[in-house]
Amino acid sequence: MEERKYYDEFETIVGDILIHNEFQKLKKIDHHGNGLFQHSVAVGYYSFRVARLFGLDCRSIARGAILHDFFLESWQGKVKTGKGLKRIKEMHGFSHPKTALVNARKFFEIDERQADMIVKHMFPLTPIPPKHVGSWVVTAVDKWVATNELVFKKTQPIKRLRSLMSRA
């Protein structure tokens, strides 16, 4: 089956991340009705597919993409203490890409291109645009997956992946 072939290739590339204890903790964090683990794997997988389709560095993009939301604290209901600009910077939408990059660097080897994918994935909410084509892929795929999660609740792209994720 075609999809299985692609998922196996993806799993070979990101397998160490999928089974890592810290990354597994994302399963406990909700994201638009799906676990953040499933959201992250979906963004990683579809970024990998887009990269592969366009002959980009699919290994680098898959690994950067799967780590784009690698934050370990649920943000819903988190109390913000700052005021003005500090409060805006504390807002999840602005702060989590940086948190994800700190965590990604702590547990995995991250190069400059992958750092750009992680830290710029919220563009244009965060105003500095992506520097590399892989980062544009990740920011677009993240929005597509998140839109599916919001609009279709238990999102179709994640549902399709769920059976393939059985080993993670």
Interaction site with Fe ion (CB under 5 A)? 69, 142
Nearer to Fe ion, 11 or 142 (CB): 142
Tokens, residue 49: 């597919």
Nearer to Fe ion, 8 or 93 (CB): 93
CB of 138 to Fe ion, least distance (A): 9
Q: Of 113, 18, 115, give the one whose Cα is nearest residue 57.
A: 113
CB of 75 to Fe ion, least distance (A): 10
The count of C-alpha atoms lying within 13 angstroms of the C-alpha of 142, restricted to the half-sphere facing its C-beta, is 26
CB of 32 to Fe ion, least distance (A): 9
DSSP E strand stretches across the chain: 30-31, 34-35
CB of 1 to Fe ion, least distance (A): 27
Nearer to Fe ion, 60 or 148 (CB): 148
Nearer to Fe ion, 60 or 155 (CB): 155
CB 93 within 8 A of CB 122: yes
CA distances from 49 to 28, 97, 152 (A): 26, 22, 22
Helical residues (DSSP H) of 31-73, grouped into ranges: 36-53, 58-66
Nearer to Fe ion, 8 or 125 (CB): 125
CB of 73 to Fe ion, least distance (A): 13
Say which amino acid occupies 105. Answer: R
